[in-house]
Structure 1
């Protein structure tokens, strides 16, 4: 059976950018403004406060895992109240990959493993829009272990490191996302998949993108009336059913075109269009350039991947 969540994570093409250990003591604060940069954090020891713009601040305790698929402005700080002056002090490097914030002497109050991912897909914005703005999982041993493995592997110079990292990061993202899946999740793919009836329709779209789906047909798959299905899907996933289907088809089409394994006509058939010309019109309207031009641009921008640590 097709797994939509796994497909989305695979198409995101996650990679390791860097990770580091941060020790904090006393009053300290770190402010970051890195919109679009996937950020993660595991609290190894102690507690700290995370505040993401637009969301209620949360307290992170030992064992907690946080993932922000597309980081907005956010701050991390000590539990003790802080002022603007505490954010002006730069972290001090203790050793390669390890830093200290706040009071520089004495034992630390908190120990964090933090890092950034990079999504290799040009469709990252579309795919990330299907995910929650913030993922917070409390005391999850599997996630802590996976993040530590990612950090260890990214710093090692062992054979097949990039392949191992890619697989670890895919597992990390899937585990983090499915740990928060539920009907209380924010609108997006996870909430849609948590609804048993909507999940059937979503899986059918992923299993058979070549089928000429209509809202009525998808509603039948979900055993709902057309109007009930449309309202329920739009509310849970955050977009209308046909908009979701179009976005998914175009994400798959872009991936096929980038891999350059088949021509435009075959790509059209594999994403549900009766002809290459019909697909080209839809693709150009959605992406802004024709499929042929898109392939040319991808070739021009192609360069060996560099892993930043």
Structure 2
């Protein structure tokens, strides 16, 4: 049969063999694309399983060094550290303590594998008794009081040897405040990876199990409305103007349009977070026998790259490295 419009062209010609498909593949995954989140809990001696996230655990501090070294050997080149604190208070003061959990985690990770890019999640939700991302005043997070505390927190992280600061609290002006604090303290070389477009999402549920959070209520007053696409772009561009070195979209798969929008408007490196709910849904479907876990994971990660992400934060990072090498 001849196509009168394009008589000489068929798309299937370049799909005929594996070698041909590989030659013309537009988007590729590599181990350097992935950032592995690691949860570390104070006061435990053995890993604690997270029921809603099969395969993910909270590690005791004594095992963090071994975990970082193991991840490096598997091809991981960046880790994102989350602390599960046993010293919570109303403001998260442990995070600006040079001997607090956040600082200790950073030092341990850097000493264990100096070449590893160690990223600190800079927020307060895992360190406050109420589980909110900052100082609560009159029932809501006070933006500017939280910024002042965040400035103290990031300087402690920098002193501890962190490679990248990653603020996730979605407070207005947080990047400018962080940049000012780091520069003033002599850490102008430390880059900031902003959670610049972070939605008030239902996909975060299992994460609260992961960090043993007692959070109740909503973060809708400071995280983004999932309905707002134009505002999502504006949020990231504002953080770029304030000096963010990386931008980020969180969650991932439900927000590929936002990821693509931001990619079209910035030259900054762009990250995406495949969050706990996305991970848990794939795990549950695989356990039920209704999907091929490896195929679905790699297809999902590829979708992030195709939409414009340079970096992918994923609990599947180690598995993905293994699958790509086979």
Q: Same fold (TM over 0.5)?
A: no
How does the TM-score come out when normalised to structure 1? 0.29
Which is greater in Rg? 1
